[in-house]
Chain A
Amino acid sequence: QQQVKQSPQSLIVQKGGIPIINCAYENTAFDYFPWYQQFPGKGPALLIAIRPDVSEKKEGRFTISFNKSAKQFSLHIMDSQPGDSATYFCAASMNTGFQKLVFGTGTRLLVSP
């Protein structure tokens, strides 16, 4: 019940395409859902996060869509660029005051020129 399932495992899109990464969770106590971007040899960097009281959040080219009833959320990257090639992780936590992030297994994205 503590798992976050992420798909696909890998994704290849052409420059300008809109890759979509999906995550699903079971624990309805989760109330904070961040996305992280990780480049090889680096730590994860926070991209964007959402809470269940909204269905969509945009920051620049990154959009999170959230479906509370389906317990699913997804990341869309608009006008993707080769520099977006990285591994993306969704995560979830319960805002009990001690944020223990539960991560998905990651999606390796390659944006071809």
Chain B
Amino acid sequence: DAGVTQSPTHLIKTRGQQVTLRCSPKSGHDTVSWYQQALGQGPQFIFQYYEEEERQRGNFPDRFSGHQFPNYSSELNVNALLLGDSALYLCASSLDRYHEQYFGPGTRLTVT
């Protein structure tokens, strides 16, 4: 049983560019959350998707947007990249909105 998978593993982008990160949830899970983890810090909640809609959002600007597909996979899009967006982006999935979240390995984004 595959766990949460994310792609790509690593990504290097230039300031001002746009990036799309992808996540496939654990089998049977329908809820996907995205977190940003800066180096040496705990993960920070970006937003959560359930039934293809953004249900809750953390303190992140509108440059961060997402999407959930009918197969429950999800994308995180970041526009107008800043140096401060360099971080590990984590996807977590759960059985539903009420159950434990399981994290993927993350995508390491470096903005130069």
Contact = CB atoms under 8 A, between A and B. Distances in A.
A45 B4 CA distance: 11
A43 B90 contact: yes
Contacts of A46: 100-103
Nearest to B97: A97
Secondary structure class of chain A's binding surface, majority of residues: loop
Interface residues of A, number: 23
A100 B47 CA distance: 8
A13 interface: no
Given A49-B100, A99-B33, A100-B58, A43 B106 contact: yes
Contacts of B94: 99
Interface stretch (A53-61, A62-70, A72-80, A103-111): A103-111
A106 B33 CA distance: 20
Contact of A106 (B4, B42, B102): B42
A86 interface: no
Interface stretch (B12-20, B48-56, B63-71, B73-81): B48-56
B35 to A, nearest CB: 8
Interface of B: 4, 33, 35, 40-45, 48, 50, 55-56, 58, 90, 92, 94, 97-98, 100-106
Interface of A: 6, 34, 36, 41-46, 49, 89, 91, 95, 97-106
